[in-house]
A and B are shown apart, each in its own frame.
Chain A
Amino acid sequence: MSKLVQGYEVVIGFETHAQLSTNSKIFSRASVAFGAEPNTQACALDMALPGTLPVMNKGAVERAIEFGLAVNAHVAERSIFARKNYFYPDLPKGYQISQFEIPVVQGGEVSFYLEEGKETVHKTVRLERAHLEEDAGKSLHEDFIGQSGIDLNRAGTPLLEIVTQPDIRSSEEAVAYAKELHKIVTWIGICDGNMQEGSFRCDANVSVRKPGEPLGTRREIKNLNSFKFMQQAIDYEVRWQIDQIEDGHKIQQATVLFNPDTGETRAMRTKEDSADYRYFPDPDLPPLVIGREWVERVKGEMTELPRVMAERFVKDYALPEYDATTLTQSKAMAAYFEAAAKACGQPKLASNWIMGEVSRRLNAGEMTIEQAPVSAAQLAALIGRISDNTISNNAARQVFEVLWTEGGEVDDIIEAKGLKQMNDTGELEKIIDEVLASNPKNVEEFKAGNAKALNGLVGPIMKASKGKANPAQVNALLMKKLG
């Protein structure tokens, strides 16, 4: 099942830091809004002023619970905050409050589809844990000659660190996993998913091994902040590790950074340099206790999850599983589909149009469904005109192009472009008779048993009707006349 690279199996585990969408920080009341002037959103606690103490932001806990429910994980009744001790100027307390031995979310899984060659395969990545922690500040090394600036606006921003088992077997799977995880956290609204602003940061632990051998030594690629770089970085890292091993070198455990300009990964620090973090339970924070009632309440208030919605689409709209999964890639897409399907009463047609024309135009314009100039109602109206035989599929595509580029009402466009199908049998029969009369050769051939000769008749009929003839009707009439 897993694809080998030069005879090696690739083993990847992910650690993702999702910034939780709270208004204030995880242990203080300071705002977490992005882009403020340095240190304007750092309160006494964020600056670690003497005497300040952390107080848990319940909103961050609720988001962790939501995530646990979304990935079918166990939400721990009791989890522990620990201090990770190390000195760094943008870490104001000299320790980071995180969860170490007992995290709030335990286990769980993320499933997704991905294309392998011509096949669509289903893949499940098991999660090890997800834990709450605070972000550090930022060190600014530019603009301060010979010195560094410290911006503590980000210090204390709530993060959920989501850790997988080493279940990922290729860079494609890695990207598919990351996209699926991104979809889940944005879908349930616990994270805005903005990778540029660092709201969703992925680290990949990559190792290679010969099939059947124990896990190889891993190197951790830090801060993969786009799906494109993610794949490039992992591909480079895998090749690099295989080359090293093939050359007789051993892989040293290390943390590496990907440089998008060179397309290479480079070691930042090796294991020998790694600090002893002296984790211990934070005595300023009692154990985080989450009662069943709290979990049930959050569950009750939670939005319908993508996989649940996909199942519903299969059941209620008789969609194939593939369509249902594709349409639930984003909440907005799913909402667009449901609105269109309900309005036109033709779910499968709506699905075809959205996965076909709509997606094609979105991709070409690098747009999201929210930006689509054709509304679900307009699409439904268009589909309605196909199913009531007012226009042909071909004509509908023309109408769609106009809707997308110029806007307007479906019926007005049909009228203006004269795309209405010729449903008047008398008029059509007249055209057919004329074409039959002027193409006796085709008629003879057809009667002699050459079925293909019919095409030579349909073409001119459609042309003579200026494309307005209903092809099915033309066929039926022809068969009758040539009977």
Chain B
Amino acid sequence: MNDLHNLSVKALANLLQTKEVSAVEVATRFLARMGGNPHNAFLDIDSEATLAQARASDAKLANGTAGPLEGVPVAHKDVFVTQDFATTAGSKILSGYRSPFDATVVQRLRTAGMVTLGKLNCDEFAMGSANENSAYGAVQNPWDTTRVPGGSSGGSAAAVAAGLAPAATGTDTGGSIRQPASFCGITGIKPTYGRASRYGMIAYASSLDQAGPMARTAEDCALLLSAMCGPDADRDSTSLDVPAEDFTASLGAELKGLRIGIPQEFFGEGLHADVRAAVDAALAELTKQGATLVPISLPRTELSIPVYYIIAPAEASSNLSRFDGVKFGHRAKDYTDLESMYKKSRAEGFGSEVKRRIMTGTYVLSHGYYDAYYLQAQKIRRMIADDFQNAFKQCDVIAGPVAPSVAWKLGENANDPVADYLADIFTLPASLAGLPGMSVPAGFGAHGMPVGLQLIGNYFKEAQLLNVAHRLQQATDFHLRKPEGI
């Protein structure tokens, strides 16, 4: 069973349910692969904690009380709080922090039977597109260790791509699941805003943050997403009263008659030719299966960058105020009074991108600027959502690239944050509208790096997106290819 790490969630679940392998065996195999922390993907590993969970799963498998994913390992992005592992959100300010409770998403996956392998590296407080903003060092892309894995869920994408975990959780605020999934050649989905509880997810931008699964296949994502979603009104007021759903139920449905909207704004001059070629090829495969392509327009696509970089930092500036050195997290050693304690603790604890966004957010919410920036951004945000609804009159799903290029070199944009911001252009619109979106491997581009196809659905149409991705994966093998040596 030396190739356990190459198996899908579904295959592992089957082997575990039929008791061909034990949860402890599976966990042990992955823990062995995680040794030495390849690609710097993990921030906390505790094999005892993992094996304890695996033993509990084996007991359930033995006594017939197993969940559907009993014993299948999963690793969590470090913005989900966990009792069994430290939670830092990739920040020094939370170094060594241990939560007294589990995030709802973590709890639900545990209830489904999943065993936690550890916590995954990410951009500090999920702010970044390359995973270079982690206080604990950058993550390498397993396809080319000199390149970024994407961000902010870079550790999640790298871990799945490198076979360190069969699946991982991620969070997506402006593309943080889709873009690293694309850069690392795996599958990831962000559900409709409000479908997965945000309780226990350390907030970056509350009105945008959504949890979602990342795995090799659409089917695996469907399995995890089914366990993750569902109402949580007692703990998250923005959680929607939409029942949990079996997202695997409609997998395999034919694509005949499916209208795929192609937004012209996603195929402009900023899009690299290699990415375009891979996306076009994937679209051609979908049309071969009976789907039709419909040209559509999302006229405010470019505006989504300034709108996002006003709203997200505004919310972040307030969300991150609780990290003040008073109650938990880092407190500066030397300070003279309360104000100096605040200033020093936060100056030492936060990285430069986080500080940049706190300052931007503070500025746009300030007296005299609020109307011009924040209110204006909220208005355009509503228009962007309306644009999607207009588009969905003509099509069932929307497809396009996830990012303008393949993964760039580590350090390439280190001194140019705006270059990173601009690379978010295709993922931001769906985030601002609260729509479900996913990335599915579409081929390879420059330097042999993976390229993802982005699929955007209307509200609550996750099952439809997953089916389109699944059908593509039935006809292609991009999702099964692995970086050398994995």
Bound pair: A and B?
Answer: yes
**A residues in contact (CB < 8 Å) with B:** 44, 47-56, 83, 85, 87, 89, 92-95, 150, 276, 278-280, 283-286
Residue B206 at the chain A interface, CB threshold 8 Å: yes
User: Would A51 and B199 count as touching, CB distance under 8 A?
Assistant: yes
Residues of B within 8 Å of A94, CB to CB, are 318, 320-322, 324
> In whole angstroms, how far apart are the Cα atoms of A95 and B94 in the complex?
19
B95-103, B273-281, B401-409, B456-464 - the one binding chain A: B95-103
Chain B, range 171-220, C-beta contacts under 8 Å to A: 198-203, 205-207
Decide if B326 touches A150 in the complex (CB within 8 Å): yes
Interface pairs (23), CB distance under 8 Å: A44-B101, A47-B327, A48-B322, A49-B328, A50-B99, A50-B202, A50-B203, A50-B322, A51-B80, A51-B101, A51-B200, A51-B202, A53-B236, A53-B237, A55-B234, A55-B235, A85-B318, A87-B342, A93-B322, A95-B321, A278-B366, A280-B365, A280-B374
Question: What chain B residues lie within 8 Å of A47 (beta carbons)?
Answer: 327-328
* Closest Cβ–Cβ distance, residue A150 to chain B (whole Å): 7
Instruction: List 14 additional contacts besides A50-B89, A95-B318, A284-B237; criterion CB under 8 Å.
Output: A48-B322, A49-B81, A49-B328, A50-B322, A53-B236, A56-B237, A85-B317, A85-B318, A85-B321, A87-B324, A93-B322, A150-B326, A279-B370, A283-B206
A286 touching B318 in the complex, CB below 8 Å, given contacts A50-B89, A51-B99: no
Q: Does B314 sit within 8 A of A, measured CB to CB?
A: yes
B367 proximal to A (CB < 8 A)? yes
Number of A-B contacts (CB under 8 A): 100
Chain B hits for A52, CB < 8 A: 199
Q: Which residues of A contact B234 (CB under 8 A)?
A: 55
Contacting pair B100 A85 (CB below 8 A):
no
Which chain A positions have C-beta within 8 A of B367?
276, 278
Partner of B318, one of A51, A150, A278: A278
Encoded as 1 (CB less than 8 Å from any A CB) or 0, chain B from 223 to 252 comes to: 000000000011111100000000000000
Residues of B near any A CB (own CB < 8 A): 80-81, 87, 89, 94, 97, 99-101, 103, 198-203, 205-207, 233-238, 314-315, 317-318, 320-322, 324, 326-328, 338, 342, 362, 365-367, 370, 374
In angstroms, Cα B199 to Cα A44, docked, is: 12
Q: Are B97 and A50 in contact (CB under 8 A)?
A: yes
Q: How far is the CA of A52 from the CA of B322 in the complex (A)?
A: 11
The one of A51, A95, A280 in contact with B314, judged by C-beta atoms closer than 8 angstroms, is A280
* Least Cβ–Cβ distance between B180 and chain A, in angstroms: 22
Asked if B362 contacts A278 (CB within 8 A), the reply is yes
- Complex Cα gap A49–B329 (Å): 10
Q: Is B327 within 8 A of A92, CB to CB?
A: yes
**B202 nearest CB neighbor, chain A only:** A50
Dominant SS among interface residues on chain A: loop
Separation of A279 and B202 alpha carbons in the complex (Å) = 21
- B97: chain A residues at CB < 8 Å are 50
The CA of A231 and the CA of B238, in the complex, are separated in Å by 46
Min Cβ gap B191→A in Å is 18
Which residues of the other chain, B, contact A93 by a CB distance below 8 angstroms?
A: 321-322
Residue from A95, A150, A284 with most neighbouring chain B CB atoms (10 Å): A284
CA distance A89 to B324 in the complex (A): 8
Return the chain B residue nearest A39 by Cβ: B327
Question: Are A85 and B237 touching (Cβ within 8 A)?
Answer: no
Chain A residues with Cβ under 8 A from B80's Cβ? 51
Specify which chain A residues have a CB less than 8 angstroms from the CB of B342 in the assembled complex. 87
Contact, CB under 8 Å: A49 / B370: no
Chain B nearest Cβ from A124, distance in angstroms: 34
The distance in angstroms between the C-alpha atoms of A48 and B81, with both chains bound, is 13
User: Nearest CB to that of B361 among chain A residues?
Assistant: A278
List chain B residues, Cβ under 8 A from A44.
100-101
Q: A50-B81, A92-B322, A94-B321 are in contact. Are A280 and B237 (CB under 8 A)?
A: no
Beyond A53-B236, A55-B236, whether A83 also contacts B366 by CB under 8 A is no
B202, B234, B321: residue with the most chain A Cβ atoms closer than 10 Å: B321
Contacts of A85 in B (CB 8 A): 317-318, 321, 365
A50 touching B235, Cβ below 8 Å: no
Contact in complex: B200, A283 (CB < 8 Å): no
Contacts of B237 in A (CB 8 A): 53-56, 284-286
Q: How far does the alpha carbon of A284 sit from the alpha carbon of B89 in the complex, in Å?
A: 19
| With A87-B324, A278-B366, A284-B237 as contacts: A49 and B318 at CB distance below 8 Å | no
Report chain A residues within 8 Å CB of B103: 51
| A89 surroundings in chain B (CB, below 8 A) | 324, 326, 338
Question: Chain A nearest CB: distance from B422 CB in Å?
Answer: 25
Q: How many angstroms from the CA of A279 to the CA of B375 in the assembled complex?
A: 12
Q: How far is the CA of A276 from the CA of B203 in the complex (A)?
A: 23
On whether A49 and B207 interact (CB within 8 A), knowing A55-B236, A93-B322, A285-B237, the answer reads no
* Bound Cα distance from A283 to B206, whole angstroms: 6
CB–CB B199/A286 < 8 A: no
Q: Which residues of B contact A83 (CB under 8 A)?
A: 318
A92–B327 alpha-carbon span in the complex (Å): 8
Contacts of A92 in B (CB 8 A): 322, 326-327
Chain B contacts for A87, CB-based, 8 A: 321, 324, 342
Assess whether B201 is in contact with A51, with CB atoms less than 8 Å apart.
yes
Neighbouring A residues of B203 by C-beta, 8 Å? 50-51, 53, 284
Distance in angstroms between the alpha carbons of A87 and B342 in the assembled complex: 9
